[in-house]
Structure 1
Amino acid sequence: MASKIQMPAPLCLIENRDRKLVVHQEALQVLSGIHQPVVVVAIVGLYRTGKSYLMNKLAGKNSGFPLGSTVQANTKGIWMWCVPYPDRPDQTLVLLDTEGLGDVEKGDTQNDSWIFALAVLLSSTLVYNSMSTIDQHAMDQLHYVTELTERIKSKSSPEKNLEALEDSAEYVRFFPVFIWAVRDFTLQLELNGQPCTQDEYLENALKLKKGNSHEVQLFNLPRECIRLFFPTRKCFIFDRPTNRKNLRRLEEMEERELEPDFVEQASQFCRHVYKTSKPKTIPGGHVITGRLLANLVETYVDTIRSGGVPCMENAVLALAQIENSAAVLEATGRYVELMDQTLKLPTETLQELLDIHAKCEDEALKVFMARAFKDDKQQFQAELTRALVQKKEAYCRRNEVESSKRCKALLMRLSKELEDRINQVFYSRPGGYQDYLNDLRMVEVRYTQESGKGVMAEAELEQFFKDKEAVGRAILQSDEALTQKEKEAEEARVRAEAAERESELQKQHQAMLEQKMEDQRRSHEANIQHLMQKLEEDRKKQLEEQDKMVEAKLREQKTMLEAGFQKHANQLNDQINQLRKESEDLRKPSWLSSLLDAASVVLSLVIPGLAGKAVAVVSQFFKRL
C-alpha cells in the first residue's frame, strides 16, 4: 500500500548531468507505485543555505538529504524522498530538495532557471530559502521568479498575447503555495519601530514603489511576480542553529545541542507545512497521485531536453490520455473480475445475467470515473461502454453455450431408453406409435421437471422434437393399427404442435431481445447518471478553484488600492471580472445539460439499438430526475 511506502533514503529524481536534465528511472518507479494523492513540498534557494536540513526535518529525520543536495561534486539536480504523511494515512508526502542555485562553479545559470521552474511545476508547496534578510539583494537573487513565464506556459495557444503579469490568473491555477524561509536572521522583527509578524515583514518587503523609471520597474518586477503568481504566501525566520564552527556537523548534532530558538522555529515551520499543505492538483482541481506525478516529471523533462517550454495545458492533455486509457483498462478488468466472481453459468433466465451485469457495470463505471479526468468528448467513456457491451455479449454467448451443453446432455440421458427402443425397432408393430408418443412425452415431462437448464431450455427441446420428426413419421406410417385417416389426422396434429412450439420459441426470443433493449437503455442512463455526478464534482472543484482565485485577487487588489497603484488594481479588476464571468457560466443549468446532451449522443452510438434515440433517452432521464 502507498501509505506504507518504505523509502529509507532520498533518491535522485532529476539529475543535472553535463548541463542536461536526466530523469532517474528508479525514482520514477517509486512514484509510479504510489496510488494515493501526493502532497509535494519542494525547496529552492542558493547553495549552502541549509535547505536540506529543513527537508530532513519534514521527513522526520536528522539526516537523509545530504547537505548541499549532493552525494558527489558532480551529482546535481532534484532529489526526492517519499514518506508517509503525518496524520494523513490516505496521502503521501513527497519532498523535493533541489541543488543550490547560483553556484559559480557551474558557470551556467540556464539549468538553475529550469530547476526553479520544475520545482514550481511539480510542487503544491514551494519553499524559497534565503539568508539573513529580505532586502533588494535577496530580491535580485530571486530573479528566477521573473523568468517563470519564459520557462512555463499555461496554454498551448493563448487567444491573445497578454503581458506576463496580466495573464497571472492562468498561472495561479496551478502554481504552489509560497513560503519564504529566511535563515540566520539577526535583525529585530519590527517595522517603523513597532513589533511585526513574520508575514507582515514579508508583505512589507514586497511593497511596490511608485514611478515609471527603469530603476523602479526593476525594483517592482520580482515583487509583482511574487504577489501575483503566489497570492498565498507565508514567511518564517530562523535564527542561526549553532555557531559557525559546528555548522559542518549539523546533521550529526542532537536537537539539545542546537539553539533552542532555532529548534522551536523549525518545529513551527514543520507544523505549518503539515497542517496547510494540500495535495498536488492540476487545473480543474484533479488531484495528482504518485503515478501521475511520475508522468508529469517525464513530460516536463522531455519537453525541456527537446528545447521546448513546458506547457501545463499540453501536460494535462497528455496526462489525461495516459490516465484515461488506464482507467478504461482498470474498469474493464474490474467488470470481468466481478462477473467471474458472481456469475454462475448457465443462468436460469437472461434477466438474471443482465441484473448481475448491471451491478458489475455500475462498479466498473465508478472505477472509471474515479480515475478518469478531462474526458471532455467522452471518448474514453465511450471506449469503456463499447468494451462492456462486448464483454456482456460474450457472457451472453457463453451462457447460451453452457445452457445448450447442459440441455443436450440432459436430453441424451433422459431419452436413452427411447433411443434404445428405436434402435431395436421396438415401435415397429401395431400400436407402437402410441407407445412411442407416450415415451416421447415422458421424456418431455421429466426434462421440464429438471432445473438448472438455463436460457436455451426451450430451444434445445424444440430441436430435440425436430430431430425426432422423421422417426415419428416413419413409426406412424408403419403402425397397421391405425387407419389412413387417423394417420393423416395425427400428422396434422404433430405439425400444429410443432408450429405452436415454434411460435412460443419466437415469443421467447422476442422477449429476450426486449430485455436486452431495456438493459441497453438502462446502461445508457447509468452512464449518463455517473457522468452527471462526475461533471457536478468537476464543476464544484472548478468553482472552488475560481473562488479561491477571486479571493486572492481581491486581497491583492485591496492592497494595490491602499498603496495607490490604480493601474495594477484595474488590471486585477479585469481578471476578477473574467473569473466571475467564468464562474457564472459554470453555475448555469445549461452548462450541465448541454454537456450531457452531447455526451448522450456519443455514448448512444456505441450501444446497439440506441443510435438516434439519445435525445429522447436523456429527456426521459431528466424528467425522472
Structure 2
Amino acid sequence: MACSRIMSAPVCLIGDDENGHLRVRKEAKDILDGISEPVVVVSVVGLYRTGKSYLMNRLAGQQSGFALGSTIESKTKGIWMWCVSHPSKKGHTLVLLDTEGLGDVAKGDEKHDTWIFCLAVLLSSTLVYNSLGVIDNTALEKLHYITELTENIRVKAEVDQHEDESEDFMQVFPSFVWAVRDFTLELKRGDQVITSDEYLEGALKLKPGSSPQTVQYNLPRSCLRKFFAVRKCFVFPRPASTQNMRRMEELTEKELESEFLEQANTFCCYIYENTEPKTVTGGRTITGTALGNLAEVYIEAIRSGKIPCLENAVVSLAKIQNVRAVDEALQFYMTEMFSMAQLPTRPEELSDIHTDAEKKAIEVFITMSFNDNDQIYQQELMGKIYSEYQEMCQQNHEASRIQCEEVLREVFDELEKSVSNGSYLKPGGYQQYRDSLRHLTSDYRERTHSQIMSEEVLSTYLRAKEAAGNMILQADQSLNAMEQQKEVQRLKNEILEQRQRGLEEQNRLQERVFEDMQRSHDEHVKQIFSQMEREQERIRRDNERVLEAKLKESEALLQQGFQQEAAQMKSEIDRLKSDMNKQETSQPSTISKVLDGIGTAATLFLPGFVPKLAGFGLSLVSKLF
C-alpha cells in the first residue's frame, strides 16, 4: 500500500488514557493493520525542545507534519507516528516515530519518560538520539535511560542470574544514531581532523579504575557500547538565526544555513539506505500489522506492571499474527476462486485457478505469519484450502451435472414421450427404439462433450432405461426368443460399458485433484523454504553485526588497558562463533522437520479428500494408499 496516500499527517500511536496509563490509539492501530509490507521503523528520542520533530519531518520528505513549536513547552505528547512509502526500499513502508520530549519538569513523572524511551527502543529499527551542544559527560548523564534498559526490558523469559545479557540485547536492539544539534566546535582531536563517528567513539571511552565516580562515569558509555552494535554520529550546525528558528516550519531551504542543509540531507540518506526492516527475535521481519500488535503487547505488559519481555512478546505476537494470517489467506483464496471460477468449468481451468489462488494465498500467509516454527498454522491453512477446493470441485461437479441433466431432458424428450404413449410396443418397435436411443445419445454427447459430468449423467440415464428397453424388447413379436436373449445381453453390455466410461471420466478428475494436492504440497514447502532462507540470512547478518561490534570493542578495550574486560569479551566472541556454527549445522535437521510436518499434514488431508469424491470413481483410491 502507498502509505503517503492515507497519511497526510502524523497521528498519535501511543498516548495516555483517562487514567494516565499508556495505551495504543485505535486510529494509528487501524492504519498499521492495513500495512502488509515490511516496515522500516525510525524513532527519535531526546530531551524536550531539542528539535527532534524537525528531523522526522525531513525524513518524511515534508517541511511540516510533526509539531515543532517555538516555545519552551514540549509539543509532542506520547509517541506520534507517520507512515510514508519508503523512498529507496521498494515494497517497504517507512514508519517514523516522534517521541515525547524527555526530562520535561512539568510532567513530574520520570517513569513515564523511561517507558517512552524503552518503547522507542523496542519498536524501532534505528533509534535517533537528539541532543544539543556537545557530547560530554553532562550529555551522557542525561542519557541515563540507556543505563535503565536492563531493568525495564527482558530479552529472554528466563535468565540466569549470572548470565551477561549484553549479547542478547545487541542482537535485537536497533542501530543507534546520535544527532548533535547546534554543534559549534571543530571536529579535531589535537591537530588531527576526526570524523563525527570518531568524535562519538572518543566520547564513549572508558576510564580505568573501580571508584564509585569511575563506575558512574563508565556506566552510560559501557551500556551504549554493549547494547548497540551499530553506532553513528551526525553533528549539525545551527540551522538559522534565533529569530528564524521560531518559524522553522515556514522556512524554505534557501533560508536555511547551507552547511546545516547539507548535513540534514546526508543524515536522511544514511537513514534511508542503512536502516533495516524491523525484526524481532529469530530474524523475523515484521509488517505494519505486526508492529501494531507488538505495540499493544508491550503496552499491555507495562499496564499490568510487568517488564516487557521480547521472548514473551514474540509468543503473544505469533498467536495473534498466525490466527489472522490463516483467516486472511483463506479469505483471499476463496475470494480469488469465487471471482475467477465460473461454474461449471473445465477441470484444467479450475485447477489453474486453484493453483494461482493458492500460491497467492500462501504468500499472504507467509507475509503475515510469525514464528510458525512447527508449521502448525500453515498446516491448518493447508487443510482449510484443501477443504475449500474440495467443496469447489463438488460444486463444479454438481453444476455440470445440472447442465447435463437439462440437456439430457431436452435431447431425450421425444424418446420419453414415445415410450410413455407406447409407440414402440409393436413389431419392429425395439429396433426403432434402439436407433432413436443411439442417435439421441450421439446428439447428447455432441452437446455436452465439454462437461465433466457428461458420461456420468448419461450412465445414470441408461441404467434407468434398462427396464423400459427390456419391456419394448419383449413386446416386439418380430424377434424370436434367441434374438431377444441376445439383445438383452447386448443391452446389459452397453450399460456396463457406459458405466465404465463414467468411472473413467471421474477417475481422470480424481487424478487431477490429486495432482493439484501434490502441487499444493510442493508450493507450501517452497514458500516455507524461501521464508526460512530469508530469516536465516537475516540471523546471519545480525550475528555478523554483533560479532564485528564485539571484535571492535575487544580491540578498543585492549588499547585502553582493560585486559580483564578484553579477555571476557574474547570468551563472548568465541561463544558467539560457536553458536553461529551450531545454527549452520542444525539447518538440515530443521529442513527435515519442516518436510515431515508438511508431509504429515498432506497425509492427513489428502485421504479425507478422496472418499468424498469416491462416489464418482473408486479405482483411484488404491493408488493413493
TM-score scaled by structure 2? 0.89
Q: Secondary structure at the match of 1:575?
A: helix
**Which amino acid in 2 is paired with 1:106?**
K
Q: 1:593 aligns with which of 580, 591, 594?
A: 591
**Which amino acid in 2 is paired with 1:148?**
L
- Superposed, 1:521-536 pairs within 5 Å as 521-536=518-533
Q: Which residue of 2 aligns with 1:614?
A: none
Tell me how far apart the structure 2 counterparts of residues 209 and 463 of structure 1 sit (CA, whole Å): 94
Q: Which residue of 2 aligns with 1:151?
A: 152
Q: Secondary structure at the match of 1:12?
A: strand
Q: Which residue of 2 aligns with 1:57?
A: 58
Q: 1:213 aligns with which of 211, 214, 222?
A: 211
When residues 152 and 472 of structure 1 are mapped into structure 2, their CA distance, relative to the original with a 3 A threshold, is same
Q: Which residue of 2 aligns with 1:40?
A: 41
Identity %: 44
When residues 141 and 278 of structure 1 are mapped into structure 2, their CA distance, relative to the original with a 3 A threshold, is same
**Which amino acid in 2 is paired with 1:368?**
F
When residues 606 and 575 of structure 1 are mapped into structure 2, their CA distance, relative to the original with a 3 A threshold, is farther
Q: Which residue of 1 aligns with 2:549?
A: 552
When residues 489 and 262 of structure 1 are mapped into structure 2, their CA distance, relative to the original with a 3 A threshold, is closer
Shift of the alpha carbon at 1:390? 0.8
Tell me how far apart the structure 1 counterparts of residues 496 and 393 of structure 2 sit (CA, whole Å): 27
1:570 aligns to 2:571 (yes or no)? no
Tell me how far apart the structure 2 counterparts of residues 469 and 146 of structure 1 sit (CA, whole Å): 91
Shift of the alpha carbon at 1:243? 5.1
Judge conservation of contact 2:76–2:101 (CA < 8 Å) in 1.
no
Q: Secondary structure at the match of 2:40?
A: strand
**Which amino acid in 2 is paired with 1:302?**
E
Q: Which residue of 2 aligns with 1:339?
A: 337
Judge conservation of contact 1:346–1:452 (CA < 8 Å) in 2.
no
Q: Secondary structure at the match of 1:147?
A: helix
When residues 291 and 370 of structure 1 are mapped into structure 2, their CA distance, relative to the original with a 3 A threshold, is closer
Tell me how far apart the structure 1 counterparts of residues 25 and 118 of structure 2 sit (CA, whole Å): 18
Q: Secondary structure at the match of 1:5?
A: helix
Tell me how far apart the structure 1 counterparts of residues 358 and 536 of structure 2 sit (CA, whole Å): 25
When residues 447 and 71 of structure 1 are mapped into structure 2, their CA distance, relative to the original with a 3 A threshold, is farther
Stretch deviating more after TM superposition (285-294 or 377-386): 285-294
Q: Which residue of 2 aligns with 1:272?
A: 270
Q: Which residue of 1 aligns with 2:235?
A: 237
Shift of the alpha carbon at 1:12? 2.1
**Which amino acid in 2 is paired with 1:475?**
I
**Which amino acid in 2 is paired with 1:430?**
P
Q: Secondary structure at the match of 1:430?
A: coil
Q: 1:306 aligns with which of 304, 307, 310?
A: 304
- Superposed, 1:253-332 pairs within 5 Å as 253-332=251-330
Judge conservation of contact 1:70–1:76 (CA < 8 Å) in 2.
no
Tell me how far apart the structure 1 counterparts of residues 71 and 365 of structure 2 sit (CA, whole Å): 42
Tell me how far apart the structure 2 counterparts of residues 66 and 198 of structure 1 sit (CA, whole Å): 28
Tell me how far apart the structure 2 counterparts of residues 222 and 75 of structure 1 sit (CA, whole Å): 26
Q: 2:434 aligns with which of 431, 434, 437?
A: 437
When residues 67 and 361 of structure 1 are mapped into structure 2, their CA distance, relative to the original with a 3 A threshold, is closer
**Which amino acid in 2 is paired with 1:474?**
M
Tell me how far apart the structure 2 counterparts of residues 355 and 261 of structure 1 sit (CA, whole Å): 59
Tell me how far apart the structure 2 counterparts of residues 74 and 266 of structure 1 sit (CA, whole Å): 22
Judge conservation of contact 1:295–1:319 (CA < 8 Å) in 2.
yes
Shift of the alpha carbon at 1:14? 1.5
Q: Which residue of 2 aligns with 1:196?
A: 194
Judge conservation of contact 1:406–1:453 (CA < 8 Å) in 2.
no
Q: Secondary structure at the match of 2:108?
A: coil
TM-score scaled by structure 1? 0.89
**Which amino acid in 1 is paired with 2:106?**
E
Q: 2:536 aligns with which of 524, 536, 539?
A: 539
When residues 77 and 366 of structure 1 are mapped into structure 2, their CA distance, relative to the original with a 3 A threshold, is closer
Tell me how far apart the structure 2 counterparts of residues 247 and 124 of structure 1 sit (CA, whole Å): 30
Q: 1:412 aligns with which of 405, 409, 413?
A: 409
Deviations 1:234-278 (A, max 9, x none): 112233445556544444445555555444443433333333333
Stretch deviating more after TM superposition (231-240 or 318-327): 318-327
Q: Which residue of 1 aligns with 2:623?
A: none
**Which amino acid in 2 is paired with 1:161?**
Q
Q: Which residue of 1 aligns with 2:220?
A: 222
Shift of the alpha carbon at 1:206? 0.5
Q: Which residue of 2 aligns with 1:463?
A: 460
Judge conservation of contact 2:43–2:128 (CA < 8 Å) in 1.
yes
Judge conservation of contact 2:374–2:594 (CA < 8 Å) in 1.
no
Shift of the alpha carbon at 1:304? 1.0
Unaligned runs of 5+ in 2: 610-625
Q: Which residue of 2 aligns with 1:426?
A: 423
Q: Secondary structure at the match of 1:182?
A: strand
Shift of the alpha carbon at 1:362? 3.0
Q: Which residue of 2 aligns with 1:79?
A: 80
Q: Secondary structure at the match of 1:22?
A: strand
Stretch deviating more after TM superposition (102-111 or 500-509): 500-509
Report how many residues are paired: 607
When residues 380 and 12 of structure 1 are mapped into structure 2, their CA distance, relative to the original with a 3 A threshold, is same
Tell me how far apart the structure 1 counterparts of residues 359 and 27 of structure 2 sit (CA, whole Å): 37
Shift of the alpha carbon at 1:22? 2.7
Judge conservation of contact 1:16–1:75 (CA < 8 Å) in 2.
no
Shift of the alpha carbon at 1:28? 2.4
Judge conservation of contact 2:70–2:246 (CA < 8 Å) in 1.
no
